[in-house]
């Protein structure tokens, strides 16, 4: 089968013929229809320090996908041939305290599809049935292919009560923009998002932001004044991984405000801890998605009218992957989808 392989320990990906994946007795074989490109895939493409330490070479990558069930092992009973499925890219151990308590998103022994084991940028993918998400086939395939990052947005955004609250999102990457749409749908009052990229700020406005702020030109304080917000934001969603964005968020939260942090900060980032202490802030780290409460909520949000369609800005056939990755690296995209049919 064809797959996008990290064939050499250097920048790039290579379209190669690889062996079909093995299907163990608890596994489901999926014929991939569409995949989305994640920031992580871009890091692997560019071969940054993290990728060099993490990704085995050669291996095909990718973890955001939707496809069709074409086979399964002897222990699998609750899927059917032809069923449209997506899947959780984090494989958990099932044995640690958190797994046993049903908090699988907090497993201490996760491994990642397309990171630690062969991925979804391929014609076929085999994953354990416990990682399969049964899709509502009414939801468009390109949206289903982005359920993994949509799950990051939903898990982060729904960490704290949003009804009637003022929400600050830092970072208008695809996940920050989806979080804006989720927060508005969940009943937030003002949802302000910051970035330095005008393309993405425009997209955030299309997805329902109250204000999309170019932080290189306008400060958060100015926007708060304009919105007649006197006490600061109630909820913060940090989705940039940028230290100054995090600190500007901490500074502009109300006393007792709550921050959910998805963005991955550089090691050694300095944080204004005394503002956290004196203003009584809560900071919650977010990793991945809840299995499978977040997946359930994603489906329900879409079924109750949340429109994510503007976030899918580009689609390419998988053979044009180089064009797709270059576009992602330009920053002027929402989600970029590869078609495998």
Which residues form the catalytic set?
40, 43
List the structure tokens of 109: 């022994």
All residues at 6 or more sequence positions from 103 whose CB lies less than 8 Å from its CB, including other chains: none
Q: How far apart are CA 296 and CA 305, in angstroms?
A: 15
| H or E segment and range at residue 167 | strand 167-170
- Least CB distance to ligand NAD at residue 333 (A): 8
Cβ distance to Zn ion smaller for residue 85 or 107: 107
Q: How far apart are CA 146 and CA 153, in angstroms?
A: 11
* Angle at the Cα of 33 from the Cα atoms of 29 and 36, rounded to 5 degrees: 110
**Closest residue to bound Zn ion by CB:** 107
- SS3 state at 192: strand
Interface pick for ligand NAD out of 215, 220, 259, 260 (rule CB under 6 A): 215
Q: What is the dihedral of CA 67, 72, 77, 82, to 10 degrees?
A: 40
Cβ distance to Zn ion smaller for residue 107 or 235: 107
109 binds ligand NAD (CB under 6 A): no
86 binds ligand NAD (CB under 6 A): no
- SS3 state at 244: helix
Which entry of ligand NAD, Zn ion, none binds 92, CB below 5 to 8 A by partner kind? Zn ion
Q: How far apart are CA 315 and CA 312, in angstroms?
A: 8
Residues 99-158 that bind Zn ion (CB under 5 A): 99, 107
- Least CB distance to Zn ion at residue 21 (A): 23
Region from 92-100, 179-187, 288-296, 328-336 binding Zn ion, contact rule CB under 5 A: 92-100
89 binds ligand NAD (CB under 6 A): no
- Least CB distance to Zn ion at residue 88 (A): 13
- SS3 state at 29: strand
Known binding positions: 38, 63-64, 93, 96, 99, 107, 175, 195, 200, 262-264, 286-287
Residues that bind ligand NAD (CB under 6 A): 39, 152, 170-176, 194-197, 200, 215, 239-242, 244-245, 262-264, 286-288
């Amino acid at each position: 089968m064809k797959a996008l392989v990290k064939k050499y320990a250097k920048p790039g990906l290579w379209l190669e013929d690889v062996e079909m994946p093995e299907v163990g007795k608890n596994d489901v074989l999926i014929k991939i229809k569409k995949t989305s490109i994640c920031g992580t895939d871009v890091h692997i493409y560019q071969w940054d320090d993290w990728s060099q330490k993490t990704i085995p070479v050669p291996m095909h990558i990718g973890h955001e996908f939707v496809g069709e069930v074409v086979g399964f092992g002897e222990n699998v009973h609750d899927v059917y041939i032809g069923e449209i499925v997506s899947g959780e890219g984090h494989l958990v151990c099932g044995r640690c305290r958190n797994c046993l308590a049903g908090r699988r998103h907090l497993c201490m022994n996760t491994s990642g599809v397309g990171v630690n084991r062969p991925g979804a940028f391929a014609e076929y993918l085999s994953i354990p049935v416990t990682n399969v998400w049964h899709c509502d086939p009414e939801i468009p395939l390109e949206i289903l292919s982005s359920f993994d990052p949509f799950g990051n947005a939903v898990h982060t955004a729904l960490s704290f009560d949003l009804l009637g609250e003022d929400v600050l999102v830092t970072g208008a990457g695809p996940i920050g923009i989806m979080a804006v749409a989720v927060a508005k749908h969940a009943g937030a009052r003002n949802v302000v998002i910051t970035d330095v990229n005008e393309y993405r700020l425009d997209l955030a406005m299309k997805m329902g932001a109250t204000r999309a702020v170019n932080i290189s030109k306008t400060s958060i304080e100015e926007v708060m004044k304009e919105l007649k917000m006197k006490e600061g934001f109630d909820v913060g969603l940090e989705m940039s991984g940028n230290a100054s964005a995090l600190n500007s968020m901490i500074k502009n939260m109300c006393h007792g405000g709550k921050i959910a942090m998805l963005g991955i900060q550089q090691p050694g980032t300095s944080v204004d801890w005394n503002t956290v202490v004196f203003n009584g802030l809560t900071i919650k780290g977010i990793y991945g998605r809840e299995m499978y409460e977040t997946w359930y909520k994603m489906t329900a949000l879409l079924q109750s009218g949340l429109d994510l369609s503007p976030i899918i800005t580009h689609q390419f056939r998988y053979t044009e992957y180089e064009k797709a990755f270059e576009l992602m690296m330009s920053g002027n995209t929402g989600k970029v989808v590869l078609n495998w049919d």
